[in-house]
Structure 1
Amino acid sequence: MLNGIDPLLTGDLLKHLDEMGHSDSVIVVDAHFPAARIAKRLVTLPGTSSPEVLAAIRSVLPLDDTPAVDLMTSADGSVLDVQRELMASAGVDDAGVRFVDRFDFYDAAETAYAIIRTGETRKYGCVVVRKGLVGHESA
């Protein structure tokens, strides 16, 4: 345990976040996502929600330039509550997020530096976040 570090940020997760370079992506996914099949580096945080894990990650990870956040487009195209919560956890508004179709999201996951699988059971509780420059928070 470290002072000032969110307890959801395990040593393994912090190691991956630290190793990431500018524009590398970390993907926080729900329990439905095929993370074990796709991930090069997988951290599993059962019993957590995607928004709370994203908020913990954002406490140490600066965002890349807009759009730094991708969400999966829902089946009917509406923005779901869990997606609004993810946007709030990322600290972005509608202008700071891009919605992508499911298969483009899976393609992004295949190139991600790390995937964090949560216990989130709400559908579309997945988000791509790109690392910005440390000490240079995007506007």
Structure 2
Amino acid sequence: MLKGIPSIISPELMKALMEMGHGDEIVLADGNFPAASHTERLIRCDGHGISELLKAILEFLPLDTYVEHPVAFMAVVLGDSVQPTIWKDYEEIIHQLNYSFPFEFMERSEFYHRTKMAFAVVATSETAQYANIILKKGVIK
């Protein structure tokens, strides 16, 4: 163990965060997401929700301030009655870090396609629907 690293950040996750470069993306996937079939670099974080992981990850991972949308959510499928409340949790976590930008909402198949190009996918036990989120890494200033 090391000082100052939240226990929710596994060695494998910390390694991936450190290996990522500017513009690389990481996907935090909910429990329903087909994570294993959409990546070659799968990081398991079973037993954890995305909000708690997001908060811990953003202690170390700067978001890309050179793009319009460094954060993307999977949009609700047309006709689905679900109204995701978890997005507000994400927005609060991100805004507490003094980031101010619009969030991108991606159609499901587009989100899946972008996930296949991401640096890594973190599979969680998040139960909220439409809880998937993509983070684009920025630079240390």
**Fold match, TM over 0.5?**
yes
One-letter code aligned to 1:29? A
Normalised TM-score (structure 1): 0.89
Match in the other structure for 2:89: 85
Identity level (%): 32
Partner of 2:43: helix, strand, or coil? strand
CA contact (8 A) 2:27 2:134 kept: yes
Q: Which runs of 4+ in 1 moved over 6 A?
A: none
CA deviation map 1:32-80 (0-9, x unaligned): 0000111121111111111111111111000002311000111358762
1:1-139 mapped onto 2 (5 Å cutoff): 1-65=1-65, 66-75=68-77, 76=80, 80-91=84-95, 92=99, 95-134=101-140, 136=141
TM-score by length of 2: 0.88
Gaps of 5+ in 1: none
Q: How many pairs are equivalent?
A: 134
CA offsets, 1:90-137, max 9 Å, x none?
A: 3356x4311111011101100000000110011101000000002x2x
CA distance in 2, matches of 1:113, 1:101: 20
CA contact (8 A) 2:84 2:131 kept: no
Shift of 1:88: 2.3
Amino acid at match of 2:91: M
